[in-house]
């Protein structure tokens, strides 16, 4: 299996939707990382970070879906991390980080599902679906 096989076999569709996200990483005094999503789905997200995060590490997430409602909050778990090639034009030597949602409340999951379904219908599917 090569490095990209896991993300390409997702259970949930992903859409290109660059919403704002806060990632809290670490236990005693968590690092707070502000970034945006590369793509998002009901089961998880991909973010681009300028540093690597350890696979299977837990994180806390706060996602601004840019829909004028409260931010979606969820736990998460780092499921994959791949360093970008230095030849890439967009953010070379950064990391694509895959995060699986854990413990998201049902109302937030339904709201996220509605956003994803609407964007899929509009043709915003991620190439890594």
Look at 5-14, 57-66, 82-91 and tell me which has the smallest mean pLDDT: 5-14
In CATH terms, the fold of domain 19-105 is Thrombin, subunit H (2.40.10)
Average pLDDT, the chain: 83
In whole angstroms, give the CA distance from residue 108 to residue 5. Answer: 28
pLDDT of residue 66: 85
pLDDT digits (tens, 9 = 90+) for 21-80: 999 998 778 899 998 888 999 899 999 898 899 999 999 999 998 887 899 999 999 999
pTM, two decimals, is: 0.81
Q: How far is it between the farthest Cα atoms of the chain?
A: 42
Cβ-Cβ contacts under 8 Å for 65 (sequence gap 6 or more):
19, 71, 72, 111, 112, 115
pLDDT of residue 129: 40
Q: Do residues 12 and 48 touch, judged by C-beta distance below 8 A?
A: no
């Amino acid at each position: 299996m090569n490095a990209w096989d896991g993300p390409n076999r997702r259970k949930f569709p992903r859409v290109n939707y660059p919403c704002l996200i806060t990632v809290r990483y670490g236990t005693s005094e968590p690092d707070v990382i502000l970034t945006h999503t590369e793509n998002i789905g009901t089961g998880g997200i991909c973010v681009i970070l300028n540093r690597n995060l350890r696979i299977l590490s837990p994180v806390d997430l706060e996602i601004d879906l840019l829909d004028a409602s409260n931010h979606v909050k969820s736990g998460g778990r780092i499921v994959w991390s791949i360093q970008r090639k230095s030849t890439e034009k967009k953010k070379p030597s950064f990391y694509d980080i895959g995060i699986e949602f854990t413990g998201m409340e049902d109302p937030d999951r339904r709201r996220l599902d509605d956003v994803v379904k609407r964007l899929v219908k509009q043709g915003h599917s991620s190439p890594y679906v």
